[in-house]
Amino acid sequence: MSIQIGIFGYGNLGRGIESAIRQNPDMTLAAVFTRRDPATLTIGTEGVPVLHTSQVEAYADKIDVMILCGGSATDLPTQTPALARRFCVVDSFDTHARIPEHLAAVDAAAKEGGKTAMISVGWDPGMFSLNRLYGDAVLPDGKDYTFWGKGVSQGHSDAIRRIDGVLDAKQYTIPVESALEAVRSGVCPDLTTRQKHTRECFVVAAEGADKARIEREIKTMPNYFADYDTTVHFISAEELARDHGGIPHGGFVIRSGKTGKESEHTHVIEYSLRLDSNPEFTASVIVAYARAVARLYREGNVGCKTVFDIPPAYLSPKSRDELIASLL
Amino acid sequence: MSIQIGIFGYGNLGRGIESAIRQNPDMTLAAVFTRRDPATLTIGTEGVPVLHTSQVEAYADKIDVMILCGGSATDLPTQTPALARRFCVVDSFDTHARIPEHLAAVDAAAKEGGKTAMISVGWDPGMFSLNRLYGDAVLPDGKDYTFWGKGVSQGHSDAIRRIDGVLDAKQYTIPVESALEAVRSGVCPDLTTRQKHTRECFVVAAEGADKARIEREIKTMPNYFADYDTTVHFISAEELARDHGGIPHGGFVIRSGKTGKESEHTHVIEYSLRLDSNPEFTASVIVAYARAVARLYREGNVGCKTVFDIPPAYLSPKSRDELIASLL
């Protein structure tokens, strides 16, 4: 029986989920829910109903796992607990500092409804978190480092776009190569925010706008840019569309640690991602975990889970015997 | 209550386990079992009993997890099933092709004894297997590649030592950089054995030995060297001891795959290890999984497990809340 997937929110991530489902023969897209007028939305899969979010209750028996594709700032904190009462759900909540409270809210809702939920699925949080945990457990006398990029940060791009006189912008987060090399050498350096990443901004300014003022406002913006070495390039709208249309991302989780009688041996574990499309890769991770959620629910394992709770074999459509014979 | 660990076999791996236990405050080394005369063995931890393997039964109630440190060729196929009836066990059985039959034997024994067992723990099989599985599940339209090295292969070094006229030898397996780069580019190349790895041998020959014949015997040895580009260096015993005394190893698991409506986006996941000491890193992985085995046993989850079956959180001494707050 194919796993029936619902998509709740049809932006970049929702479209990525739709594509990922097509790569997984054990899954079917059952319905897409949108806050827009469903009549205005054309999706990529023929014959799949597109419905308004207000109609979601009627689908409670038709969907095995609902994947929430909204944003962490305002959508998911209310949507995930609300839906977890009636659906098995997966979200990609990525505000690290607020994960514990989100988990508690979703866990309570899922248990009330007897459903299985999973939050914070993707690559960070997600695959990067797994690698931080495995590294921490395997090399306890060590330290881990996470670097992001080179990639587009949506939040930082949005922050630039809000500046007066800016028509459009793309911001790239770039790991500092010398910092990466220091970490890879196993010396466990102490690194400041500025030493780990730089930020590069491509900005389309309105005609006649004061570019010096825009550049200053970007570089001094607290939290977003003030703690980084930031470069600002002014380009045309055509150049932005031509050269910066993608949503690439990636990064590195590196753990180094010591072993031996006198801690004389150093080991370096490095996990890296190079992604052409951040939302499509995030979607691919979510879809694999949706399979795990469906299985946990069948097993009666309710409440809210994280990637830390899921046996790796649950992500795969292959049988345990097949996995052991082919991948172990 | 500290987890009481037994070490069964005190070679390089056993000594690595002993060191790793000292890095994990929730574990205690309870006893070391050896096939040698226990009186001849001095271990690195004071006050820990060293016993002959024939006395192991008497320790059934004193040990939470027994870690088997023998070899995969002849020791583990009999030892692990035999001990799994009376102890929770972990081994590092690494003959990939024979894992299914070993699993079946250990599973039957563990279930008969109501114990929890785990086989094939380390880095390959082990951490590399996990990364093959995660990559396969997350990017189903893709391909994975495993490269080993640069590192010392014990089996290949032993094979050289068996050649007439060879006093000692060390063999390094080295990944071919151009093959690594091709895989990293995301093109999914087809690679032959010869294209993936080279082998470099450092050989101490007996005085007067026919070096040309030794070199020829190495390079034409079926399975071990014939399918590879192999380099042979003859060096002195002093040089071997000075420059090749360590047991470094490492390698790469790289998965690349496509996503998108027209498979237009490529993603590359790379996991790599650079290890100063192969046995000590293997031991570190085993000790983390021994913690998981102790917990599974407390939960009544008996039978033989693999790394694919274990929720990541079970490897850590930290609470789930702490993991979620600090590493997710």
Which residues does chain B have within 8 Å of residue A120's beta carbon, measured at their own beta carbons?
A: 328
Q: Give the separation between CA B123 and CA B129, rounded to whole angstroms.
A: 8
Q: Tell me the mean pLDDT in the region A57-80.
A: 96
Instruction: Give the nearest partner residue to B19 out of A257, A260, A327, using CB atoms.
Output: A260
CB contact, 8 Å: B19 with chain A? yes
In angstroms, the separation between the Cα of residue A320 and the nearest Cα of chain B is 8
Give the pair of three-digit tokens for residue A296: 């946990």
> For testing the chain A interface, which of B27, B267, B271, B306 should be mutated: the one with the most A CBs within 10 Å?
B267
CB contact, 8 Å: B273 with chain A? yes
**Sign for the pseudo-dihedral over CA of B290, B292, B297, B298:** positive
> Is the Cβ pair A138, B266 closer than 8 Å?
no
Give the pair of three-digit tokens for residue A214: 């825009």
Residue A1 has pLDDT above 90, yes or no: no
What is the chain A residue with the closest CA to B121?
Answer: A328
B39-92 pLDDT per residue, tens: 999 999 999 999 999 999 999 999 999 999 999 999 999 999 999 999 999 999
Which residues does chain A have within 8 Å of residue B270's beta carbon, measured at their own beta carbons?
A: 270-274
> Is the Cβ pair A288, B259 closer than 8 Å?
no
Which residues does chain A have within 8 Å of residue B279's beta carbon, measured at their own beta carbons?
A: none
pTM of the predicted protein model: 0.97
Residue A31 has pLDDT above 90, yes or no: yes
Cβ neighbours for A278, distance < 8 A, ≥ 6 positions apart: A151, A152, A247, A248, A249
- What percentage of chain A exceeds 90 in pLDDT? 99
Cβ neighbours for A201, distance < 8 A, ≥ 6 positions apart: A156, A160, A169, A170, A171, A172, A218, A230, A231, A232, A233
Interface of A with B in 165-184 (CB under 8 A): 184
Cβ neighbours for B114, distance < 8 A, ≥ 6 positions apart: B302
Residue A9 has pLDDT above 90, yes or no: yes
Q: Give the separation between CA B152 and CA B233, rounded to whole angstroms.
A: 15
B211-266 pLDDT per residue, tens: 999 999 999 999 999 999 999 999 999 999 999 999 999 999 999 999 999 999 99
Closest CA to A303 of A312, A293, A313: A293
> Is the Cβ pair A312, B133 closer than 8 Å?
yes
Measured in whole angstroms, the distance separating CA B144 from the mean position of its chain's CA atoms is 20
Residues A23 and B140: beta-carbon distance below 8 Å: yes
- Give the ipTM: 0.97
Helix A278-298 and helix A12-22, axial crossing angle in degrees, nearest 10:
60
> Is the Cβ pair B309, A313 closer than 8 Å?
yes
Instruction: Give the nearest partner residue to A19 out of B261, B270, B308, using CB atoms.
Output: B261
> Is the Cβ pair A44, B323 closer than 8 Å?
no
- What are the backbone angles phi and psi of residue A211, rounded to the nearest 5°? -65, -35
Q: Compute the mean pLDDT over every residue in chain A, rounded to the nearest whole number.
A: 97
Count of CB atoms within 10 A of residue A235's CB?
Answer: 18
Residue B1 has pLDDT above 90, yes or no: no
Instruction: Give the nearest partner residue to A324 out of B100, B267, B325, using CB atoms.
Output: B100
Q: Give the separation between CA A38 and CA A32, rounded to whole angstroms.
A: 9
Closest CA to A278 of A194, A173, A93, A153: A153
Residues A84 and A110: beta-carbon distance below 8 Å: yes
**pLDDT given for residue B301 in this prediction:** 98
The SS3 of residue B283 is helix
A176-193 pLDDT per residue, tens: 999 999 999 999 999 999
**pLDDT given for residue B166 in this prediction:** 98
Give the pair of three-digit tokens for residue A173: 């987060």
* Burial zone of B249 (CB within 10 Å; 0-12 exposed, 13-18 middle, 19+ buried): buried
Asked if residue A211 has a cis previous peptide bond (ω within 30° of 0), the answer is no
In angstroms, the separation between the Cα of residue A77 and the nearest Cα of chain B is 17
CB contact, 8 Å: A227 with chain B? no
Asked if residue A279 has a cis previous peptide bond (ω within 30° of 0), the answer is no
Q: Give the separation between CA A304 and CA A132, rounded to whole angstroms.
A: 21
